[in-house]
Structure 1
């Protein structure tokens, strides 16, 4: 029987990063993955493939709608080759997952293919092509999550689909109905809208991306409507029926009136659930919460002292970069170090175009916590860089403590917001004030000038370019 200092169950961004850091710190490490490729949901059927399709569809939309204005003329009709687009997406996935294989070899991490199941707190049975058992002094659970659904919806993976199937459709839908106005639904909805589908989003809450600042939700809603996506908020879905190739969704609007929406595909995107199937957690003394999450303390330690859990399978936002931070945290904890994670400073991003990104407190949270704050906001359309690229939608908003001027939250919608948010994270990590950021030189012309201008607006209401 092989013995390890650490075994990691699950090879997503949290799991494989945890394994690498453990190996770097001198621990004999194994990683267990039930699928034939490493990388988990993110690399195989999540973050990476969805961004590949977002980029491809964005190129197509630019060619159809914007090239002529840029003085670029393409003779003949511009067409979508969906099969080729999906194939390119898969090649990106294959390159990325292959890179994880390389990193496992480089760091001398043993890889086991199969379902990892606890026999007890220190022994793991791996059921794959053959069944074997390993012993681990410590284990990190990183089994991730799966798409959630509603109890009355029967997902057939053909016409009523999850995000996994949406990444490999054989045709562009005529009318895609998206149930759920969160990040995944909006991103994939925009992919197919660009490619020619009619898209209708049905959201239970009174706004899309409800976990983000209300100003971000409002701006995105306005932008998507301008892009001809239909956004139905405050709609409670009560039935989803397939009749042949037609999908019929019935929902009650905020007035209690029944609304019927017909399409040829329905993407169910109502969130994700922690995945612990086959883990046999109880055999190791690992407790789960009422919501099916692995219960952990502030050190990410489960009820079994030698077993830890990270990523989507525990409480908190289901984000790949959160899982990575937690993976490093546990590895360094096992090595006797004193790592730290500030969950308030883990950014959230929506990779539509324009993008949206947030870090820190929202205005709603500051009001709820009775923290006095001031706001500085700057429109993207006031930037020379935005006009040059024709990316005029969006804004940057900075929330700062009314007394100390410390930045408490940054929220933005605009081109490259996913990259720009890192500046805000760095500033807040070092507890910068709005004035600190306003006095830093920002290259011109860039999108990040909007951050400086918003900081100026928050400091003395003296933005220069509005």
Structure 2
């Protein structure tokens, strides 16, 4: 014992203390009217109205959950777009469905002032936005991020470095700047998902005891447990456009499957993104019932370097939601039929003739054998 604290010594240490909700700018939450995401699960009754400040993953999840339960919800975020790391088409669909539950969005807005009003048995929260708008609700949820629980650890005494937000930098083995001290999970920052945190902890434990283990797999899914669910793995259209990668998409709606009709989900959607030339799968994005389950099929194909032909030839159980993969693949194949290969304007280096082919309008999306293209091949140079 030292100063009333228990002292534990070890040759190897793993720091996995997680995070807590960031405090509201107005001061500590009261657990009733001014809430954080750590408080809101302890509410004893639903408020009639709720303002959610912060349009990140947690804010969107709670906004959709409370709206579905009949609470009048207003979602406020200083950014012009929700969930900017998620495919734009998926976010647009989410917002459309949340509006069907009467969610009001105030994007590009920031809270300037918060006041509590008490009137007998009734209390309200008055939010004034920087634009001058006022929002009155029975409660307000501040979902403005989470911070690592490192302040009380005195990590500096051990020489462990942290960044300005209290996160612990680590290497590929999840070791900190101090030999023998490792960190994993939310305390090291992005991606801060339960699934990835668990895997990081497993790898760190193996590395610290010198057991063979693979590096952390960078192909992992995101799950957003809003209503409806969202899940994604791989690249978005926006990122591929920015990186100038040629791609084509394939889209399927749940209503195109028997299972979707049985379940009554006519708004769910799956989008796959394929490289336009190699046909490799680059990204999968899903919104709807069981989206966080469906995503693992696409995740496996990306990890195994598979592509469009796998989905075109695979057989899926009927009736299942997994059939959306087959439907989306055929949608992508139909789009790719109309993509002509680039034509060369000169001979190859060394003087060899260049062969260019015009792909015929054929129902089979796979490349045709050379013999079937022979009549359409032109020799130039």
Both structures adopt the same fold (TM-score exceeding 0.5) = yes
Aligned positions of 1:61-100 closer than 5 A: none
User: Measured at CA, do residues 342 and 452 of structure 1 come closer, stay the same or move farther in structure 2, by a change above 3 Å?
Assistant: same
TM-score of the superposed pair, with normalisation by structure 1: 0.68
Match for residue 279 of structure 2 among 390, 405, 413? 405
What runs of 5+ residues in structure 2 fail to find an aligned partner? 338-362, 364-381
Is 2:74 the counterpart of 1:200?
yes
Higher relative contact order (CA 8 A, sep 6+): 1
Name the counterpart of 1:423: 297
Per-residue deviation, residues 149-176 of structure 1 (Å, max 9, x unmatched):
4534552222110112211112210111
TM-score of the superposed pair, with normalisation by structure 2: 0.82
Q: 1:459: Cα distance to partner? A: 3.3
Name the counterpart of 2:148: 274
Q: 1:437: Cα distance to partner? A: 2.3
What is the alpha-carbon distance in structure 1 between the residues aligned to residue 198 and residue 157 of structure 2?
Answer: 27
Match for residue 450 of structure 1 among 309, 313, 324? 324
Is 2:127 the counterpart of 1:249?
yes
Match for residue 101 of structure 2 among 199, 218, 227? 227
Name the counterpart of 2:198: 324
Name the counterpart of 2:136: 262
What is the alpha-carbon distance in structure 2 between the residues aligned to residue 361 and residue 332 of structure 1?
Answer: 30
Match for residue 341 of structure 1 among 193, 208, 216? 216
Name the counterpart of 2:359: none
CA contact (8 A) 1:377 1:395 kept: yes
Equivalent pairs, count: 333
Match for residue 288 of structure 2 among 367, 389, 414? 414
Name segments (4+ residues, structure 1) moved above 6 Å. Answer: none
Q: Computing the radius of gyration over CA atoms, which structure comes out larger, 1 or 2?
A: 2
Aligned positions of 1:69-218 closer than 5 A: 131-149=5-23, 151-152=25-26, 154-218=28-92
Q: CA RMSD in A?
A: 2.1
What is the alpha-carbon distance in structure 1 between the residues aligned to residue 153 and residue 137 of structure 2?
Answer: 38
CA contact (8 A) 2:172 2:215 kept: no
Per-residue deviation, residues 128-165 of structure 1 (Å, max 9, x unmatched):
xx632222111111011111245345522221101122
What is the alpha-carbon distance in structure 2 between the residues aligned to residue 348 and residue 451 of structure 1?
Answer: 18
User: Measured at CA, do residues 171 and 447 of structure 1 come closer, stay the same or move farther in structure 2, by a change above 3 Å?
Assistant: same
Name the counterpart of 1:37: none
Whose helix fraction is larger, Structure 1's or Structure 2's? 1
Q: 1:207: Cα distance to partner? A: 2.2
